A = this chain, B = another copy of it.
């Protein structure tokens, strides 16, 4: 998180230089990995789809029993102020809410709220044109409906993903495909129907936007997806805040469809970029 000029963060009612933003080691994120977060893009100074991300942040907090110390509007005002102070028009913003400074290292206390702005790297045109290779792994995220800070399995798998020359790892469980550690999964059937897993996934904001855009042109289904469904798919792609839409050309060493980014995938990416650009105006 280096930058050319001083970045500010926000911790419990205070704007602080990012390099001076620390938590005491009694915090329940450090002691017990207990916390939730969310992450959205700032584009041209505009907080992209921020209400959706705030809704999900508050929903995750509720699911994990962590009271957010502000209303959604108050938190939005603080986020706008942080982005103004930092003056980076294109960046990512992370909101973290932890279990707080626990007296006994187990029972939650008043949550600590951290807001951070950080540089954002979107996929290059070359990466979109080439597409990515992925591997699969048997796993389902705990408490999948909440955006918790638990990435033990995803991070443990980083070396394995790299060793296989892959870009990311797709989780599946009991025969059903779910999601990537930080992204959602879509496939396109031979009849151009757009499909994404319905259950045991974190419902991404980009996933939601893509579903809405796709419904204007294609059949769209939220349904159970199996590894066999992928083997017969025409196209596949991942969606996330930072990736937008990234074509998947290979899964576990086998090509998806023709082994190149598909027409529906690239069409939806163009629609998504246009949707994002319309937000900024």
List the interface of chain A (C-beta within 8 A of B). 1-2, 9, 11, 18-19, 21-35, 37, 64-65, 94, 96, 98-99, 103-108, 114, 116, 118, 139, 142-143, 148-153, 155-156, 158-159, 182
Q: Is the CB of A25 within 8 A of B148?
A: no
**Closest B residue, CB atoms, query A140:** B142
Q: Is the CB of A151 within 8 A of B32?
A: yes
Q: Pick the contact of A143 from B24, B148, B156 — CB < 8 Å?
A: B156
Q: Is the CB of B118 within 8 A of A32?
A: no
- 9 A-B pairs in the complex with CB atoms less than 8 angstroms apart: A31-B37, A31-B94, A33-B35, A33-B151, A34-B151, A34-B155, A65-B159, A99-B155, A139-B142
Q: Pick the contact of A30 from B18, B114, B118, B143 — CB < 8 Å?
A: B114
Q: Is the CB of A11 within 8 A of B25?
A: yes
Per the bound structure, the CA–CA distance linking A101 and B130 in Å amounts to 32
Q: Is the CB of A33 within 8 A of B103?
A: no
Q: Pick the contact of A31 from B2, B28, B149 — CB < 8 Å?
A: B149
Q: Is the CB of B149 within 8 A of A143?
A: no
| B residues less than 8 Å from A21 (CB atoms) | 24-25
A250 to chain B, nearest CB (A): 22
| B residues less than 8 Å from A98 (CB atoms) | 30
Per the bound structure, the CA–CA distance linking A64 and B30 in Å amounts to 16
Q: Which 9 A-B pairs have the closest CB atoms?
A: A33-B33, A22-B22, A32-B151, A33-B149, A33-B150, A29-B30, A21-B25, A34-B155, A25-B114
| B residues less than 8 Å from A142 (CB atoms) | 139, 142, 150, 152-153
Per the bound structure, the CA–CA distance linking A29 and B148 in Å amounts to 12
A7 to chain B, nearest CB (A): 11
Q: Is the CB of A105 within 8 A of B94?
A: yes
Q: Is the CB of A30 within 8 A of B155?
A: no
| B residues less than 8 Å from A26 (CB atoms) | 1
Given A22-B23, A30-B29: A152 and B159 interface contact (C-beta under 8 Å)? no
Per the bound structure, the CA–CA distance linking A103 and B1 in Å amounts to 5
Q: Pick the contact of A27 from B11, B30, B116 — CB < 8 Å?
A: B30
Q: Is the CB of A30 within 8 A of B35?
A: yes
**Closest B residue, CB atoms, query A31:** B149
Other CB < 8 Å A-B pairs besides A21-B24, A34-B155, A99-B155, 12 of them?
Answer: A2-B103, A11-B25, A22-B24, A31-B94, A32-B151, A32-B155, A33-B34, A33-B35, A33-B152, A64-B152, A142-B152, A150-B150
| B residues less than 8 Å from A9 (CB atoms) | 25
A161 to chain B, nearest CB (A): 11
Q: Is the CB of A152 within 8 A of B155?
A: no
